[in-house]
């Protein structure tokens, strides 16, 4: 089981289902220093709120990352190198969850 926070193009439920149909999607938000949606450049920090989707997959981290790699052309981020990290996500009624984020 793994939790991910998706933003920008990948917060689309149809793309999330392409990763795995065995998921649960929640509205969520994170704190960031800056985010440029045109270049998909995200800088972690605590100056701005970025809304997205918190997704729980019943799959391992490796399986989810492999599935994301398979749909990379649909995501269209235009980058060749990514970082996987963890971040604290606010969702629901003031609930917090650590989740993976790709940027």
Does position 48 have pLDDT exceeding 80, yes or no?
Answer: yes
Dump pLDDT digits (tens) for 50-94.
999 999 999 999 999 999 989 988 886 666 778 899 999 999 888
pLDDT attached to residue 78: 65
- Three-state DSSP at 14 gives helix
Contact of 99 with 92, CB cutoff 8 Å: no
Q: How far apart are CA 74 and CA 44, in angstroms?
A: 25
Q: How far apart are CA 1 and CA 100, in angstroms?
A: 12
Determine the structural domain holding residue 79 and report its residue range.
2-102
Q: How far apart are CA 21 and CA 56, in angstroms?
A: 11
Mean pLDDT of the chain: 92
| Reported confidence tier of residue 37, pLDDT bands at 50, 70, 90 | confident
- What is the H or E stretch that residue 61 is in? helix 61-70
How many domains does the chain divide into?
A: 1
Does position 32 have pLDDT exceeding 90, yes or no?
Answer: yes
Q: What is the CATH number of the domain that holds 56?
A: 3.10.490.10
């Amino acid at each position: 089981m793994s939790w991910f926070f998706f933003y920008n193009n990948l917060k689309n439920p149809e793309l999330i289902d392409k990763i795995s149909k065995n998921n649960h999607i929640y509205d969520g938000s994170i704190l960031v220093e800056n985010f440029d949606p045109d270049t998909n450049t995200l800088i972690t920090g605590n100056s701005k709120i970025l809304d997205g989707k918190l997704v729980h997959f019943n799959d391992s981290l490796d399986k989810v990352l492999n599935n994301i790699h398979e749909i990379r052309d649909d995501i269209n981020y235009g980058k060749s190198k990514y970082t996987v990290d963890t971040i604290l996500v606010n969702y629901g009624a003031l609930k917090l969850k650590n989740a993976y984020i790709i940027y």
